[in-house]
Structure 1
């Protein structure tokens, strides 16, 4: 009977299907550096309003630290997906899908399972936050704002549906890119040097939070626990689709809440302890519920062979 560490090593050791030496790692970073530079250069040349001023500002304040940050963040986007395909084919010499799953395939069903389970678990966590707020502050107030959607009735419903579909696909692709980078390549790479998967998970979570530079520390805390949850799901399932589905739903919630819950929120002051409770409820709780459900129902991925 395998333990959790064995399942984690199964996924991490997919890296051994190809090259794992330091030269391949250095060449991988070099390729990503070139792709990041090309992508940034092309973006700066886009003929859109305001780009000339932004280009001048970017070049004036250019620094090595900024270039490094761009490299690290670009690896989790569309440039990264292309980069990993190139790297797997020509540098690491292993299947691209070895970054994704133990059976070297991408399962849409498990992606949808991850999205549905996260949605259900997040509804439970919102209810718990609501109850906590009512008991703690003696006032029944929504932790995510009041339900008051802004819908322009003059907009063509077909265009609204089409734009919504494009948004869903775009958000899911961005989540796939970040998971491929963090839970795929980076986890497998660090796992070749660090033999304790839990240490790899924590390091990935710290980097995941720090790379989202647009957020302050309260949101970074949420992202840290999100990352830990995504890593536990992917390592136990030995594939990324569950975490991609869950990650997609977190992004969809982040986009939807400011649009749907636009009513006035409560101005009740909260303490640091309250903020920690809400952060855990928004991140660790739904992912923990997902993990427990999959564990209790024995719904983890089962393969007939190690690399079937």
Structure 2
């Protein structure tokens, strides 16, 4: 076992959730060897063709990662791993933080061809977005990862957008992606007990969404909203509640982002396609759940 490879305990948690072996050809590389190669590339950020020989053909490793990113296999594995942690009582639902982080895009991440729909009058697949999740700024191309993290500093759901997109409009989309199956039966769990966010998420739309779902929240009120409310008097409504002690746990989502970006292929985007980079971030999130 090389440095950074899956341990026997981590493999025992991951193996039951993997798709059955199969595919074209007579030979099929072992899941554990290929996944270790994927994790090695995510951790070090090396080009796919630079993978060590102990992981087999780099084309096989890349193709399996690309295929699992395209058909949402990584997303399903993440949900199943979370379900196992939830069943074992290793998940903190008391506080869920929402946040975002920008990732610089390498020059190799630009220049992806725009996919055309195969059938006329049909939209392109979800993972073939025209912008490919790249945004331009003074510093160059960037992508932004929006995510929700639980109290144990592990990602629960994530969303990829161009770097210049705002945080507040993505909060509802991120929280709607939280979906933890119940192995013992019942509807998947989708509603956390409490949500925390910084001033960027303090829009009225977000607060109405949380109240409608009966989710308590700790989000500070921006100065502009407070001044507008005070200027309108009684018509401005009551001030938003704010618990300073609960807001101290805001550091948990920042620590979650820090752990994710310890992987060089997450801190810097090398993938051309948005769906492949989304699979890269999801695989890094799965590794965080397996380690704890």
TM-score of the aligned structures, taking structure 2 as reference length: 0.27
- Which of 1 and 2 has higher RCO (CA within 8 Å, sep 6+)? 1
More helix by share: 1
> Which has a greater percent of strand?
2
TM-score (norm 1): 0.26
